[in-house]
Structure 1
Amino acid sequence: MTIWNQVQSVLRRWRSPARKPAATNPDRHLLEANRNLRELIEDTSIPAAVREELSTEFEDIAEISRKLREGEIHIAAFGRVGVGKSSLLNALLRREAFSTSPLHGETTAESRERWDTLRDGHVVLIDTPGIDELDGQEREQMARQVSRRADITLMLCEGDLTDTENQALRQLCAAQRTVLLVLNKADRYTSDERELLVQRLRERCSDLLPGDRIIPASARPAPETVIRVDAGGVETEYLRERPPELGELRERLWSILENEGQTLSALNAAIFASELDEKVASRIVTARKAVAEKIIRKYCIGKGLLVALNPVPITDLLAAAGGDVALVIHLGEVYGFRLSRREASRLLLTISAQLVALMGAYWGMNLVSSALKTASAGLSTALTATAQGALAWYATYLTGKMAQTWFSRGKSWGNAGPKETARDILASLDRDSILRTARDDILARLKGR
């Protein structure tokens, strides 16, 4: 769709190795992103039912729009329980804003705090629950939520990646957002061990992240033992807290924020807008299919009963043809096209020509049944009329599916053409099952008269 084409263009420029930070135009990206968001929010062609089904996503769009207007850049911490997400964010803030506890799993819901102020806005830090307390589907859903809300995601680990962490990291990176892999609690390792571990992570994640986005840190280093000697020469040991070791992480974050912050925010907004755009389109297609199916079946039973009840055999087919024109016009309205009766008739001629060519046996049966209906002098009228009505039901269903396909392709048969389209539809349907359903439906309604 249009928004996705715009996003791909921005992505190509942003991902290009030749791109320099100075060459970006954050204001232009922000304007593009805001325009995309407004297009989605204000699009009156989106059905109310689709908006209701995607209400959470539309709320997110409104929040992202506000975020862009106010110049907010969001940084989220993501990782297992006990890996030190809350502690790391507190260390960045230089205050105890996020809840921490010796008991694992203290963070059970997303929480956020404002960090520092940028030239054109400010940074918000977001804490998230531990991913290992969720099953695979929930974890994937949380990864998607974090990715679409955060401009930068800090994926925390405390050693080599577990399978859960590796899967979560891949899900985050697949969303095309900026991710930093932070080896927290790095103070537990010697210098050599730390260097080897960072190298191991860089090799393992080489297909996901550049090497400079895998960073060691210590949000809350273990206390160091200090020996104090008093005036009398008496030695006393005590534990002294050590300051966080976040220099490399802070430097990398501020480099990204200063050079790409607003561009990242705009890009992420545009990507999310494109994703929602695709969801809306998919829901509309699904909704239209459901409505079209109901309409087709409504005309099927109407036509089947009309043919079964019509006492003049030759008018069965004539009356049915008039019903098909109305069906085509009605289906066109579902897909946003208004057809005149003349246009609908021309489409019906094309459809009928293909169905006649592929279903000669059907038309022969219909005419024979019509003749039997007269010759029987009423002895087998009910049975014959029901059979003929079922055939009319089936013919209407095929006509409706052909017309629906034509409308869903933008009033086009596509590369397949009408003949192959008709052949594909016939091959996909269980004729005998449909005829049984049609016959039972007609009989039930005749008995209920």
Structure 2
Amino acid sequence: MATDFQRVERMLDRLENEELHVAVFGRVSAGKSALGNALLGRDAFAVGVLHGTTTDADAARLDEAAAAGLTLIDTPGINELGGEAREKLAFEVAEVCDLVVFVADGDLTREERDALRALSTTKRPLLLVLNKSDRYGEDEREGLLSRLREHAAGLIAPEDVMAVAARPAPRDVVEVDAEGHERRSSMPRPPDVAALKDRLLAIAKREGKALSAINAGLFAGRLTDQVSERIAAARRDVASRVIRQYCIAKAMAVALNPVPVADLLLAGGLDAAMVVQLGRVYGLPLTRSESGRLVAVITTQLAALMGAVWGVQLVASALKGLSGGLSVVVTAAAQGALGWYATVLIGRAAEHYLISGKSWGEHGAKRAVAGVVAALDRDSILREAREEILRRLKTGDRRSPP
């Protein structure tokens, strides 16, 4: 999380300095690093014949665009075998950049099409370039560009799909001397990236600051959502521990109290105390009277849905009193398990109410409580409860967990 906030700070710094960061993205060996070097006019990025030459994110300022603040970011290839971590890094880099140049060296593979669609979800402007275009004749090159525009339809404007040649193959030259002897040699050719460079510089000049601002806002918004989800997950975890503590406390209190009605009254008091604790967990404090009313609403709905369960609990409570204590071991686990289950239901229903901002929602308490009942596995909860209660009765451990 600290790294994410550092990214936001860097994006704000870029916005202040009017920088535009461009991610060069694509499949292994499509020529991403070579394209970056061609745009820069110098060897800023490592280029190799082996797959996976780029293993980390490197950045270099585009010298000719110093005033525009254009910065290229070279990324690892998306399809390297066993390179899941590199692919993840590539997507992360693209996410925090302002614009993405997607590099291909032929018709797009399924993997590239999937990556292109995934990148489009980041809401970053995209350019798609056909690299190594010098390998193709004019008709073949135009056919490939048409195919790329079809793949990119709805994602990239047709004019933003273009051909480049970052490292054109050397041109064979045949020289004939005065005596008629031929001498063959190779003459290097300069990169053909002018159209792409002009397009990038035009975007930087016209839209650079706006893109940086929009993308910083998008990233910060996603980060806020992630933080909110992590907070919610932490609260759910704490709430689960609170509910379990009260499950054990209530189950043992109900199982061990020999007075038939008093144990049920005690159970109601524990439910109210649990709801107060849950209110604190979710940052929505409840008074004792508020928690009591909430428990009353929940238990009323539960009674309507599960009258038979509460009937069994009342019978077990009466049986325990009439037996003079002889059937305590027989009935205590069953009664305590029902008390445990009731606590889970009340706790989860109270959670729903609190997560919704102290509201049952448009469908009311009946529908909400019914949904909680349907979502829980009653048999597994009762089984866990009976096992825990019997263990505690046998060992004499009546404490709730810390």
TM-score between both structures, scaled by the size of structure 1: 0.83
Where relative contact order (Cα < 8 A, 6+ residues apart) is larger, the structure is 1
- Per-residue CA distance 1:214-236 (angstroms, 9 max, x = gap): 11011111222334566888764
8 Å CA contact retained: 2:76, 2:89: no
Matches within 5 A, 1:251-270: 251-270=198-217
Q: Supply the RMSD in Å over aligned alpha carbons.
A: 2.2
Determine the structure 1 residue equivalent to 2:161: 214
1:430 to 372, 377, 392: 377
8 Å CA contact retained: 2:79, 2:111: yes
Residue 377 of structure 1 deviates from its aligned partner by 1.4
Matches within 5 A, 1:14-163: 54-116=1-63, 122-134=69-81, 138=85, 141-163=88-110
Residue 311 of structure 1 deviates from its aligned partner by 2.6
* Shift in alpha-carbon separation, 1:221–1:88, aligned structure 2, 3 A: same
Residue 320 of structure 1 deviates from its aligned partner by 1.2
Residue 91 of structure 1 deviates from its aligned partner by 1.0
* Shift in alpha-carbon separation, 1:358–1:263, aligned structure 2, 3 A: same
Residue 385 of structure 1 deviates from its aligned partner by 2.6
Matches within 5 A, 1:364-383: 364-383=311-330
- Opposite residue 391 of structure 2, the aligned amino acid is A
Alignment partner of 2:190: what SS? Answer: coil
- Opposite residue 348 of structure 2, the aligned amino acid is K
Alignment partner of 2:8: what SS? Answer: helix
CA distance in 1: counterparts of 2:180 and 2:333, whole angstroms: 112
8 Å CA contact retained: 1:116, 1:122: no
Unaligned runs of 5+ in 2: 397-402
CA distance in 2: counterparts of 1:177 and 1:386, whole angstroms: 60
Q: Mean alpha-carbon deviation: is it higher for 356-365 or for 330-339?
A: 356-365
* Shift in alpha-carbon separation, 1:222–1:436, aligned structure 2, 3 A: closer
Residue 72 of structure 1 deviates from its aligned partner by 2.4
8 Å CA contact retained: 1:140, 1:168: no
- Opposite residue 363 of structure 2, the aligned amino acid is A
Residue 96 of structure 1 deviates from its aligned partner by 1.4
* Shift in alpha-carbon separation, 1:91–1:345, aligned structure 2, 3 A: same
Residue 98 of structure 1 deviates from its aligned partner by 1.3
8 Å CA contact retained: 1:155, 1:180: yes
Alignment partner of 2:63: what SS? Answer: strand
8 Å CA contact retained: 1:221, 1:242: yes
- Opposite residue 157 of structure 2, the aligned amino acid is P
- Opposite residue 165 of structure 1, the aligned amino acid is E
- Opposite residue 286 of structure 1, the aligned amino acid is A
Residue 293 of structure 1 deviates from its aligned partner by 1.2
Determine the structure 1 residue equivalent to 2:400: none
* Shift in alpha-carbon separation, 1:145–1:134, aligned structure 2, 3 A: farther
Determine the structure 1 residue equivalent to 2:189: 242
8 Å CA contact retained: 2:77, 2:90: no
Alignment partner of 1:311: what SS? Answer: coil
CA distance in 2: counterparts of 1:81 and 1:390, whole angstroms: 59
Determine the structure 2 residue equivalent to 1:290: 237
- Opposite residue 234 of structure 2, the aligned amino acid is A
* Shift in alpha-carbon separation, 1:202–1:136, aligned structure 2, 3 A: farther
CA distance in 1: counterparts of 2:100 and 2:362, whole angstroms: 44
Alignment partner of 2:315: what SS? Answer: helix
TM-score between both structures, scaled by the size of structure 2: 0.92
CA distance in 2: counterparts of 1:134 and 1:411, whole angstroms: 51
Determine the structure 1 residue equivalent to 2:399: none
Q: Mean alpha-carbon deviation: is it higher for 86-95 or for 96-105?
A: 96-105
- Opposite residue 209 of structure 2, the aligned amino acid is Q
8 Å CA contact retained: 1:143, 1:168: no
Alignment partner of 2:155: what SS? Answer: coil
8 Å CA contact retained: 1:356, 1:363: yes
1:192 to 128, 132, 139: 139
- Opposite residue 126 of structure 1, the aligned amino acid is I
* Shift in alpha-carbon separation, 1:444–1:121, aligned structure 2, 3 A: farther
2:334 to 387, 390, 398: 387
8 Å CA contact retained: 2:19, 2:208: no
8 Å CA contact retained: 1:70, 1:121: no
Q: How many residues align?
A: 396
CA distance in 2: counterparts of 1:433 and 1:193, whole angstroms: 65
8 Å CA contact retained: 1:73, 1:124: yes
Residue 338 of structure 1 deviates from its aligned partner by 1.0
CA distance in 2: counterparts of 1:94 and 1:78, whole angstroms: 19
Alignment partner of 1:131: what SS? Answer: coil
Determine the structure 1 residue equivalent to 2:152: 205
1:329 to 276, 294, 298: 276
Residue 120 of structure 1 deviates from its aligned partner by 6.6
Determine the structure 1 residue equivalent to 2:348: 401
Residue 141 of structure 1 deviates from its aligned partner by 2.6
Determine the structure 1 residue equivalent to 2:261: 314
- Per-residue CA distance 1:42-80 (angstroms, 9 max, x = gap): xxxxxxxxxxxx344333223323333333211121122
CA distance in 1: counterparts of 2:358 and 2:190, whole angstroms: 68
CA distance in 1: counterparts of 2:146 and 2:239, whole angstroms: 58
Determine the structure 2 residue equivalent to 1:12: none
